[in-house]
């Protein structure tokens, strides 16, 4: 854990003067100039910028700007207050994020731990810039792995008969650990609308299917029965519509008639690991803007 803490400290020090600005607004000429001029006047240097317009005529404009500014931590409130006037004139939805503010994540897992293992490895190497502050599971399989890394582990049995009680306990834990992001790393429980409402666009799920195909349980079995030639995985934000939230990342692998259900699951587990990890990284790096049920992801 000393190594991990050293990596975290180095990242915070390196990123302390780095900020991100995400904006969406009605498209019109000059928006990029307005934003770049504002940041220039604040003494900021733009180091990365990505933009997208949903429609060349009467569309919505989206942009993510990464910038550096001396003494950013001390000046953040001043900069945000100055930006409010510009945002009002141009009808902007926006948010600032800061490199020294590391998001706090909770991981939910059931019996299968392959996605959890991938996330923990990326976290240990410093490639997943978050504090994993707690792991919650309805099975005991992952306890030793998690606690050996100094992360609190909570075993909370869950089923439909006690779901309301379980979720009340989980919500309290999220408050206790001041969690910013919930990662469902093959947590095989359906969340209620009440639970989801507490964490809008802050719950990321991995579904072991290339959505919108094979929504719900048993996708590999149904894919095998259908004779698919491609299998995939989808990471998305959780909404009250089962497996229909805004999609963040997807990937596929080719299979054929020789592959049985067990083969599909083995191949699929590799896809799930990389898809979930990418989606979590995009969120942690503030690369996602959610618009209705779609995402704009600035890779």
Task: Enumerate the domain spans of the chain.
Answer: 17-98, 103-297
d(CA 5, CA 292): 38
Among the listed residues 50, 67, 85, 84, the one whose alpha carbon sits nearest the alpha carbon of residue 289: 50
CATH label, 17-98, candidates 3.40.50.300, 3.50.30.40, 3.20.20.370, 3.30.70.260: 3.30.70.260
Query: What is the average pLDDT value for the chain, to the nearest integer?
Result: 93
Residue 5 has a pLDDT of: 63
In terms of CATH architecture, what is 103-297?
3-Layer(aba) Sandwich (3.40)
Choose the weakest-confidence range: 143-147, 168-172, 198-202, 262-266.
Answer: 262-266
pLDDT for 3 beyond 70: no
Residue 9: count of CB within 10 angstroms of its CB: 10
pLDDT for 260 beyond 70: yes
Burial of 48 (0-12, 13-18, 19+ CB in 10 A): exposed
d(CA 282, CA 299): 7
pLDDT for 214 beyond 90: no
Say whether 103-297 and 17-98 share the same fold: no
Q: How many helices (H) and strands (E) does the chain have?
A: 9, 13
d(CA 52, CA 38): 20
What mean pLDDT comes out for the span 148-163? 94
Local confidence band at 11 (pLDDT 50, 70, 90 cut-offs): low
Helix then strand then coil, % of the chain, to nearest 5:
35, 30, 35
**What 3-state class would DSSP assign to 247?**
strand
Give the active site residues: 243
d(CA 57, CA 125): 45
* pLDDT one-digit tens code per residue, 53-88: 998 888 999 999 999 999 999 999 999 999 999 999
Q: Are strands 60-68 and 230-237 parallel, antiparallel or unpaired?
A: unpaired
């Amino acid at each position: 854990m000393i190594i991990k803490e050293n990596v975290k400290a180095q990242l915070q020090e390196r990123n302390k003067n780095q900020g991100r600005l995400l904006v969406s607004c009605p498209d019109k000429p000059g928006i990029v100039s307005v934003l770049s001029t504002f940041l220039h006047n604040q003494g900021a240097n733009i180091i990365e910028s990505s933009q997208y317009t949903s429609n060349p005529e009467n569309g919505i404009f989206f942009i993510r700007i990464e910038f550096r500014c001396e003494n950013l931590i001390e000046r953040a409130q001043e900069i945000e207050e100055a930006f409010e006037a510009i945002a009002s004139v141009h009808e902007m939805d926006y948010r600032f994020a800061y490199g020294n503010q590391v998001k706090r994540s909770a991981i939910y897992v059931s019996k299968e731990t392959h996605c959890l293992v991938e996330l923990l490895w990326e976290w240990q190497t410093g490639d997943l810039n978050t504090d994993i502050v707690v792991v919650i599971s309805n099975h005991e399989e992952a306890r030793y792995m998690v606690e050996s890394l100094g992360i609190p582990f909570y075993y909370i049995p869950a089923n439909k008969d006690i779901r309301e009680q379980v979720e009340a306990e989980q919500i309290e834990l999220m408050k206790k650990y001041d969690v910013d992001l919930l990662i469902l790393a093959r947590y095989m429980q359906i969340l209620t609308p009440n639970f989801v409402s507490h964490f809008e666009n802050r719950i990321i799920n991995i579904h072991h299917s290339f959505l919108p195909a094979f929504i719900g349980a048993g996708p590999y079995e149904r894919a095998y029965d259908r004779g698919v030639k491609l299998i995939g995985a989808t990471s998305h934000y959780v909404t009250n519509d089962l497996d229909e939230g805004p999609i963040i990342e997807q990937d596929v692998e080719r299979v054929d008639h020789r592959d049985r259900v067990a083969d599909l699951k083995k191949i699929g587990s590799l896809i799930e690991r990389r898809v979930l990890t990418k989606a979590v990284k995009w969120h942690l790096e503030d690369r996602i803007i959610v618009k209705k049920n779609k995402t704009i992801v600035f890779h």
